[in-house]
Structure 1
C-alpha cells in the first residue's frame, strides 16, 4: 500500500511483517466492539426481561457480569489470526497490485478492487476462517451459564474432538465471500481516496498520519454497509449449534430472511461500524508507518 515508483514491486517480507504488526495492534484495540457485535448477532445480548440490548447496554452488561476480561473472550485467537490475516492480505494485495498496475505505476479503481478481492479470498482460506470460528464459538460459549471452554487451547481441542478439523473451517464459504468483498471494497475505496488526497500534498511527500487515519476510517464505513449480510451469515454458520440449524450458508441466509426479516442482515452494524472505522484508521496508519522500516532491512 505504500507509495512505489513505476512498476517497482514492493518487498513481500516487508509487506508481511508490516501487515502482521498492523493486524495485531488493530485487533487488540478493537476486540471489545467485535465481542459486542457477535453477541448482538447471536441474540444473546438481552435484558432480564428478554428485550434486546443496545450496543452500549451490551457493553456495560458484559463488564458488569464478567469484568473487562469478559470483553476479550476469544481475543487471543483473533489477535494471532488477525496478525497472520493482515500479513497475508497486505502481501497478496501488494503483489496483485504490482501485477495489475499500468506502465506509469497507477492502479485504476476496478483493478484495485480485483486485487483486493484476490487478497481477501487468500486470507479467508489461510487465516480468517479458523480464527473466526474459534473466536465466535468462544464468545458464544462465554455467555453460557456454565462455559465449556477453558481458554483458547482447550477450546480448539474441544472443537477438533467433537467436529474434527473440518469444524475449524465451518462457514468457509461465507467467510470467503465476506473477506473477498471486504478487501475489494476496502482497498479500492482506500486507494481511490488516497489518490485524491495526494493531490493536496506536496509531490513526493507522505500523507500526514491524521489524513491516512481518516481515509482508512472512511473506507471502513463504506465496507461495513456493503458487506454486513456476509458477516451475519458467517457468524451464524460458526455458532455452536450451526450443524443442527443450517444445512449450508444459503439455507442460513434463507432462514434469516424468512424468519427474522431482511433487516436482520444488518444486525450488529453499529458495533461493527465502530470497529471498522477504528480498524481502517489504525491498520492503514500502522502499515504505512511500519512498511518503510521493514523494507529498509528486508532482502
Structure 2
C-alpha cells in the first residue's frame, strides 16, 4: 500500500469528492485571514501604513463596512477551492501511484514534489485562476469603486469587458504559485506521512493536522513571491505579470515580494491542518457510501454517481 496523502486503495472518484469537501471547509473557515492577506498585498495609497496584524485588518474592515465586507469574495474562493482541491487530490493520487517505487510503494521527496507540481498546474488551468481572479477583483473593488454587486456580477462584467482572457488575468503568476504551492504542500505532507508510516507513528486527526500545518509553513515561505505577483495581477483593474512585478518593486522594493507573509503564514498553518484533517475524515465517510453504491456487480459509475453528485 502506498502511504501518503491518502490510502492507495482510495478510488479516484472518492479522492475527487473528498478533496472537494475538504477544500470547501478549508476555504470557508480560513477566509478572514485570506481576506486580510489579499488586502495587504493590493496597492494602497502612498504614505498610509498597512497593518501587519491580520486580526487588526479584519477588525478595521468589520468596524467600517460590516461582516459582509470581510467575506467579500468568499463564495468565489469556496467554489474554486472545491474544484481546485478535488482536482489536486485526484491528480496527485494518480500521478503519485505512477511514480511510486514498485518495491517499497513509496515516493522519493523529488517524486513527491513533481507529483504535486503537476497536480497544481492542472488545478490552475481548470479552476484556480478564474475563481482567484473573481475573488481578488471583488476584494479590490470593495475598497475602491464598489461597482461589483456579487461574484456572478463581477464575472459577467469582466467577461463583457475583457472576454475569457479577463477571467484568466494573472494566469502565469497563479500557475507558478499553484505549481510550487501544491508541490510543497502535498509533497511535504506525503513525505511526512511516508516517514511516519515507516516508523509506525499512529495516523490520527492530531497527526494529520500537525503534518498539514508543517506543510503550510514550508509552502508559504517557499512560494510567497508568486502569491504577491498573482494578487497584483488580479486586482480589479488587472495587470500583466511584468507590470505586477514592477509595481511591487516600485512600492516596496524586493522585500515587497514577501508582503503579507505573516498573514498568509497564519492562514496556511491553520488551513493546512484543516484541509488534510478534513480530507482524511471525508474519505472515511465517503468510502463506505461508495462501496455500498458500487454494488455486488462492481458497477462503479452507475452506483456511485448519486453519492458523488451529493458531495460535489
Aligned partners of 1:116 and 1:184 also within 8 Å: yes
Aligned partners of 1:39 and 1:45 also within 8 Å: no
1:214 aligned onto 2:210: yes
Deviation at 1:195, TM superposition (A): 2.1
1:51 aligned onto 2:49: yes
1:2 aligned onto 2:6: yes
Aligned partners of 1:217 and 1:277 also within 8 Å: yes
SS in 2 for 1:225: helix
For residues 218 and 113 of structure 1, what CA distance do their matches in structure 2 show? Answer: 15
| Corresponding position of 2:285 | 293
Deviation at 1:259, TM superposition (A): 5.0
For residues 205 and 58 of structure 2, what CA distance do their matches in structure 1 show? Answer: 30
For residues 45 and 272 of structure 2, what CA distance do their matches in structure 1 show? Answer: 26
Deviation at 1:41, TM superposition (A): 0.4
1:75 aligned onto 2:74: yes
SS in 2 for 1:106: coil
| Corresponding position of 2:122 | 122
Moved more, 214-223 or 249-258: 249-258
Aligned partners of 1:45 and 1:52 also within 8 Å: no
| Corresponding position of 2:187 | 188
For residues 45 and 266 of structure 1, what CA distance do their matches in structure 2 show? Answer: 19
TM-score, structure 1 length as denominator?
Answer: 0.90
**Runs of 4+ displaced beyond 3 Å:** 43-46, 199-202
Match 2:233 to one of 234, 237, 244: 237
For residues 28 and 121 of structure 2, what CA distance do their matches in structure 1 show? Answer: 23
| Corresponding position of 1:179 | 178
Aligned partners of 1:32 and 1:72 also within 8 Å: yes
| Corresponding position of 2:91 | 92
For residues 96 and 126 of structure 2, what CA distance do their matches in structure 1 show? Answer: 20
Q: Which runs of 5+ in 2 are unaligned?
A: 291-299, 301-312
Aligned partners of 1:43 and 1:52 also within 8 Å: no
Deviation at 1:221, TM superposition (A): 0.5
Indicate how the Cα distance of structure 1 residues 259 and 149 shifts in structure 2: closer, same or farther if over 3 A, else same: closer
Deviations 1:50-95 (A, max 9, x none): 2222333212101101122211001111101100000000000000
TM-score, structure 2 length as denominator?
Answer: 0.87
SS in 2 for 1:296: helix
Aligned partners of 1:229 and 1:266 also within 8 Å: yes
| Corresponding position of 1:39 | 39
